[in-house]
Structure 1
Amino acid sequence: MTGRNAVKNYFGGVMGAARISLSALASIVLCSGWSFAADLPPPPEPAPPAPAWTFSVMPYGWLPALNGSTTVRGRTVDINASIDQVLDRKIPAQLFGMMGAFEARNGRFSFMGDLTYMKLGADGGGVRSVQPQVGGVIGARASVQVQMVVAEAAVSYELLRATSGDSETALDIYGGGRFWWQNMEAGLGLAAGLNVDGLVIGRGRALAKSGDVTWVDPMVGLRLRHRFSPKVDMVLRGDVGGFGVGSKFSWQAMGYVNWEFARTERAVWSAMIGYRALYVDYEQGSGHKLYQYDMLTHGPILGVTARF
């Protein structure tokens, strides 16, 4: 019995020591775990959300003047018509060009588009025939009617941005293409010595018609965007193109100011006023098949800008 009690007491002592050791180990682990948690680096911050797409739509009208010359069927007509001399006798309501611009932006990148349609006419003192080399007469009575579509598409990248209080300035570079479609009709007053080869005679006039003429110009440009205040901003842009690929050369300068006048849940509405100038020098064919358009179209623009 004595030996059995001794064994029992021995194992009891071992189990008691084990319980004490486990309690001590648990305390050490808990304390050590707190220390380890305190030494761990903080969890990484969540990544910022990806830039959201923003959109702007700008329908506007253009009141253009024409300065330059055009050659249709080898007959050249000089045009220096002010805004009040630019007429469309067939559709008097179309005394201007109707346009629409669009932009989709995401971060520094954006896609830009612009579509222009014009149906214009000019005559009187702003238009005269100057083609004596084909039998015409200098100063002969002339008139011009032109239908034209100009469609632009470009990708822009924001080079820099500076902010000071409510004002902000950004500079973009952009590149793309400009598509042209034209249909020109030049009316020449019949006069002695007028060469009528290739012309259509009717109602006392000789008409030179170009038919459909199309080409595409590459272009590259810069755009400055400046915000004066949360409700007023300005855009200035200029580009050059052609480079002999489509036209010989072309350039464009455009500037406008937006004034916010309304804000809804989905859009910000602004009135727009500015000025646009577009020049192109294009030529194809030769002799009586020569078509040439060397013209500066310029004038005020008025419209509305909606930002989404």
Structure 2
Amino acid sequence: MIKMKSAYCGLALAFASAPAAAADMTQPRPVVVESGWNYQVTLDGWLAGLNGDVAVRGLPAAAVDVSPLEVLEDLDGVFAASFQAVGDSWLLYTDFMWAKISTDADVGPFGGTADFEQTQIVATALVGYEIPINVENMQLYATGGLRYQHNRVQVDFDPVFFPAVSRSSSQSWVDPIVGLTMHYDITDKWFVDVMGDVGGFGVASDITLQGTAVVGYNWTDTIATSFGYKALYTDFQDGGFRYDATQHGIFTRLAVKF
């Protein structure tokens, strides 16, 4: 009789606990929802030569000609970095560069030399929206934004027939820009990034153009490096200051993704 009671008690406990167990099984599990956004921070290197004419406060234009290979001798310092966020068909991008170079330049129709020094800041901010394309593993964005440039130029002019003259000038300006940005995964390791824009339109610069094309490699899910070429052309004039020059050269990038 005692055994029968024990069996009945066991069954009763089993039936009593069954609804609770079933309730536990039907309870929704916590779901971790990803934001859908990917972020990237980079350190950039740009061996940028400088070719063009720079005029300062009434002096004849200094014809600056520094090749990307020569820039290592003339470069006094450089820092460049960028940040990118991609998600929900949107692209947010910003970059910053500070550089200082010192070199010689030819000045004026009567000959003469000049010691040329330039300190430059270039910062870009872009917003992009993805353009639907029927190409696997490729994302293409139409972009729009602003480019800020600051140039401090000093020219020590030593003409052939006249006394030496030293002039310096500092100018800052902001240009609206529009462009395209493309990312293409060749494989899960190799990729190509291309960025191009045009701007100015007489708002500040008469025109400004920039283009970057790199081939990259994903070492891990979070670390990537890339190598390519970048060029920036600006034609800006304000009073006695004229900057009509192209920077161009080898471009490298170390990216951290998260």
The alignment status of 1:206 with 2:175, answered yes or no, reads no
The equivalent residue for 1:67 is: 51
Instruction: Name which of 258, 261, 266 aligns with 2:219.
Output: 261
More helix as a share of residues? 1
TM-score (norm 1): 0.69
CA-based RMSD of the aligned residues comes to 1.8
CA contact (8 A) 1:86 1:121 kept: no
State the 1:302 CA deviation: 1.5
The alignment status of 1:177 with 2:146, answered yes or no, reads yes
Could you report, residue by residue, the CA deviation over 1:104-151 in whole angstroms, capped at 9, with x for unpaired residues?
12210121101011111221xxx2002x5xxxxx22112211001011
Instruction: Name which of 114, 121, 129 aligns with 2:107.
Output: 129
The equivalent residue for 1:270 is: 224
State the 1:87 CA deviation: 6.0
CA distance in 1, matches of 2:68, 2:106: 17
The equivalent residue for 2:66 is: 81
The equivalent residue for 1:159 is: 131
* Ranges in structure 1 where 5+ consecutive residues have no aligned partner: 1-48, 133-137, 195-204
Rate the CA distance shift 1:163–1:241 in 2: closer, same or farther, 3 A.
closer
5 Å-filtered alignment, 1:85-104, equals 85-86=70-71, 94=77, 97-104=78-85
CA distance in 2, matches of 1:152, 1:207: 32
Q: Using the aligned pairs only, state the percent identity.
A: 28
State the 1:190 CA deviation: 4.2
State the 1:225 CA deviation: 1.2
The equivalent residue for 2:184 is: 226
The alignment status of 1:140 with 2:90, answered yes or no, reads no
CA contact (8 A) 2:93 2:125 kept: yes
Larger radius of gyration: 1
Rate the CA distance shift 1:93–1:70 in 2: closer, same or farther, 3 A.
closer
State the 1:85 CA deviation: 3.4
CA distance in 2, matches of 1:84, 1:106: 38
Q: Kindly provide the amino acid, as one letter, of the partner of residue 214 in structure 1.
A: S
CA contact (8 A) 1:85 1:122 kept: no
TM-score (norm 2): 0.82
The equivalent residue for 2:97 is: 116
CA contact (8 A) 1:51 1:107 kept: no
Q: Look up the SS of the partner of 2:36 in the other structure.
A: coil
* Ranges in structure 2 where 5+ consecutive residues have no aligned partner: 1-32
CA contact (8 A) 1:122 1:145 kept: yes
Could you report, residue by residue, the CA deviation over 1:2-30 in whole angstroms, capped at 9, with x for unpaired residues?
xxxxxxxxxxxxxxxxxxxxxxxxxxxxx
More strand as a share of residues? 2
CA distance in 2, matches of 1:183, 1:87: 20
CA distance in 1, matches of 2:84, 2:121: 19
CA distance in 2, matches of 1:72, 1:122: 16
CA contact (8 A) 1:62 1:98 kept: no
The alignment status of 1:296 with 2:246, answered yes or no, reads yes
Could you report, residue by residue, the CA deviation over 1:157-193 in whole angstroms, capped at 9, with x for unpaired residues?
01024454xxx11211000000111100112124323
CA distance in 1, matches of 2:138, 2:220: 23
State the 1:50 CA deviation: 7.2
State the 1:256 CA deviation: 1.0
CA distance in 2, matches of 1:80, 1:145: 13
CA contact (8 A) 1:88 1:119 kept: no
- Worse-matched range after superposition: 184-193 or 226-235: 184-193
The equivalent residue for 2:12 is: none
